[in-house]
Amino acid sequence: MTKQIIAVGQNKAQLSKAQKEFNRLTRKIPQLRDSIQQFEAGTLRLQQRMASNLDPLYDTFAQHRANMVRLLDKAWDSGFFNAREKKKIQDLLLSMIGLLMVEYGHEELKPIYEKHTGEVYAEEAESDDLDMDEIKDMMETMFGVEVDKDADVDTPEKMEEYLHRLMEEAEETLAEKKRQAEERRAKRPKTAKQQAREAKKAQEAEHKTKSVRTVYMDLIKAFHPDLELDEAEKTRKTAIIQRVTEAYKNNDLLTLLQLQLEFERIDQDHLETLADDRLKYYNKILLEQARELEMMLYDIQMSLSMRFDLPPYMPCDLLTLERELEKNIKAMKKQIKLIELDLQTLSDPKALKAFLKNYHLY
């Protein structure tokens, strides 16, 4: 098992700023990794529960609504209802049928849809029935590009392809302008402050790279398997080198330091005596790692929040998500019971007539 980085300066009465930051980051990164691992495992668990417990309820509810559409269509044809009531029946029926066909695949309801709308149902027109001129205006507003009046964009697919091409051309133009601007900047004489800033930045990048590479090379030299004659030991070292190479490829300094501790390439005394200037570059690398992990965790949480339609102010933790899932399951079961009762009640034309008295057209 990989040893954890032990806090530096544990035998000192007072820590330097760099030592405090090193300790903070080497505590924070494992915590972030654990949180990501827990969320990933929790996401899988939630998805499995949704697939087995919630999605079948949605399907059952959709099937009941499809049965309600059929019931209303039959009532509309029955001759029992007056014109005003038939208009209400039709309004109620059409409020349900579109979603059932688009989202739940109840294409068998198409004849009912066409009968009550007088239109031929077309899948490509499922959403908003926008004409292409409206789509052009919308695309120009959203993407800031001008659609040529003679462009062949008479279908959404052609429009998408055309916009993709325009965006590529715009990116190429922007990249060329950026390249030209960089060339102009490079030709201008730099001030002393600019030169000093660039030199400092280059030096920091070099030190950061060197800091990671020093740890990496120590492990590579110690465990390179090519000169190992014993097959068992060669296999062990090959596995170690794979872990080292993966950590180096990801610029993962913390894991490289942990591997040094695990295989006793360094000890606590070594960490205690690290100079502040070395810790400073370690800290910069560790801070980048922590920020990347924070963004990864944020993306996972936002994805889950959107899936459960949580408001922005609600904390996104696994316990909250579990509760939301349970709440959704209970709500769907309640909805199913209600629609089953409605199907049973409204199958009586007299009960449906009474219901329509309180149904308002808007």
DSSP 188: S
Cα(82)–Cα(133) distance, integer angstroms: 41
Blockwise average pLDDT, block size 10, the chain, 362 residues? 57 77 88 92 89 94 96 95 95 92 90 90 52 62 65 70 76 81 73 66 69 86 85 89 90 85 72 76 88 90 80 78 91 96 96 93 82
Q: Euclidean distance between the first and final Cα of the chain, in Å? A: 67
Report pTM. Answer: 0.58
Handedness of CA 29, 34, 40, 42 (dihedral sign): negative
Is residue 21 within 8 Å of 9, Cβ to Cβ?
no
Predicted pLDDT at 128 = 45
Which one, of 218, 220, 203, 221, lies nearest residue 281 by Cα? 203
Q: Tokens standing for 299?
A: 């993306």
Predicted pLDDT at 227 = 77
Cα(66)–Cα(60) distance, integer angstroms: 10
Backbone phi, then psi, for 293, in 5-degree steps?
A: -70, -40
Q: Tokens standing for 138?
A: 């919308």
